[in-house]
Amino acid sequence: MYLLYTVIASLSFFLVLKWMKRRRYFTELKRLDGKTVLITGGNSGTGKETAVALATRGARVIIACRDPEKAEKAVREIKVQSRSFNVFHMELDLANLRSVSEFCKTFLHKEKSLHILVNNAGMPGILDWTDDGFSTCFGVNHLGHFLLTNLLLPRLKECAPSRVITLTCSSYKYQKLDFQDLNCNLLPFFTYCRSKLANIYFSQELARITEGKGVTSYAADPGFVQSGWTCHYSFLFRMVMQVIMWMFSVPCEIGAQTVVYCAVSDEAAKLSGGYFVDCQPATLRPFARDAGVAKKLWEASERLVKLA
Ligand SMILES: NC(=O)c1ccc[n+]([C@@H]2O[C@H](COP(=O)([O-])OP(=O)(O)OC[C@H]3O[C@@H](n4cnc5c(N)ncnc54)[C@H](OP(=O)(O)O)[C@@H]3O)[C@@H](O)[C@H]2O)c1
């Protein structure tokens, strides 16, 4: 009897886990021949799977990565998986604003078009600083992408209709922005939450600024995915997270589906400024829809990256 109860309990547990991990797969096979896609941090995780999906649809895909060796290896793998030769890499370190500016100069010189920009690269909450003195989360996840997008915006407008997809995370809801301390001297996890909230405000304000100019902007949440973000932590933490990820997370290929949906689907084309989860529009907490805060963050970011 005891054995039967154990079997039933285990089966129910696995069924509940399976139900919790059920996710949509974006199946629209729209071709992207002649389109150029730029993906930051496309050498691993969600970014790499996004690159495979978009290259498979015929796009010219460029992954922008900080480590040329990892990038080269990823390009080889993306080419094999997508059966496309149209995949390249360029060097970009989002933790260094000078690197971002130089990257954009080279990109604009070399590439005559840009139709889809995926602001994917991201750092989890760790206690570290960028070369410009910002917390790694705020500097890489928000400020680096803020500068990158602004410098590439003229090309995106020239190539309209074009799209900007910025990756965010449901953990945005655990924090609010503090304009007295945007750099976030908090617990690393809270710093991460704020950077992901900043990604949402950024994508909303970008949608507002580009309204009627042929550029649309989306905040995409891939969900909890089995990527390599734990490599920044201790062995013990990694082991614990492996178990948690095995139970609750989905493969990066599945997480990337929401990004691909935002990049490709006709439905998303009409929903600029939206927040997307599991290949569909989702509702944000009211504080994350505050257009005044989004504008204020945009202006503060302009000052911080010296764009203003
Ligand atoms: N994992 C999740 O469950 C989850 C959930 C919600 C949202 N997200 C978001 O999804 C996005 C992708 O994350 P992921 O889970 O796929 O993690 P990942 O596999 O760790 O990918 C992160 C990518 O960002 C790159 N990167 C980090 N710092 C960089 C810098 N300074 N300059 C250029 N590239 C840099 C990494 O490059 P290196 O390989 O050189 O480190 C890597 O390619 C992130 O924005 C993350 O916040 C993830």
HEC string for 206-234: HHHHCCCCCEEEEEEECCCECCCHHHHCC
Tell which one of 70, 132, 149, 169 to mutate to probe ligand 1, the residue whose CB is within 8 A of the most ligand atoms.
169
For residue 3, pLDDT beyond 90: no
Average pLDDT of the segment spanning 284-307 = 97
Residue-level pLDDT at 8: 80
Q: How many CB atoms lie within 10 A of CB 181?
A: 11
Residue-level pLDDT at 292: 97
Residue 141 alpha carbon, nearest atom of ligand 1: 45
- Given pLDDT bands bounded at 50, 70 and 90, which one contains residue 6? confident
Ligand 1 first shell, C-beta below 6 A: 40-41, 43-47, 65-67, 70, 92-95, 120-123, 140, 167, 169, 221-222, 224-225, 227-229, 252
Closest residue CA from atom 4 of ligand 1: 224
Dist. CA 70 → ligand 1 center (Å): 13
Per-residue pLDDT tens for 121-162?
999 988 889 999 999 999 999 999 999 999 999 999 999 999
Residue-level pLDDT at 252: 95
Of 40 and 23, more confident: 40
Dist. CA 9 → ligand 1 center (Å): 36
Of 233, 258, 260, the closest CA to residue 244 belongs to 233
Residues 158-170 as b or e (16 or more Cβ within 10 Å = b): ebeebbbbbbbbb
Residue-level pLDDT at 246: 86
Closest residue CA from atom 43 of ligand 1: 41
Closest residue CA from atom 42 of ligand 1: 41
Which tokens sit at 83? 């059966």
Dist. CA 40 → ligand 1 center (Å): 9
Highest mean pLDDT among 13-17, 107-111, 225-229: 107-111
Dist. CA 272 → ligand 1 center (Å): 23
- Given pLDDT bands bounded at 50, 70 and 90, which one contains residue 228? confident
Per DSSP, 112 falls in state: S
- Say which CATH topology domain 26-304 has: Rossmann fold (3.40.50)
Give yes or no: 25 in active site.
no
- 61 vs 13, 32, 33, CA distance in Å? 41, 10, 11
Average pLDDT of the segment spanning 62-70 = 97
- Given pLDDT bands bounded at 50, 70 and 90, which one contains residue 43? very high
Residue-level pLDDT at 277: 97
Average pLDDT of the segment spanning 196-205 = 98
For residue 50, pLDDT beyond 90: yes
Q: Which of 172, 192, 201, 275 is catalytic?
A: 192
Residue-level pLDDT at 13: 72
**Where do the structural domains in the chain lie, given as residue ranges?**
26-304
Residue-level pLDDT at 24: 83
Closest residue CA from atom 36 of ligand 1: 41
Average pLDDT of the segment spanning 216-229 = 94
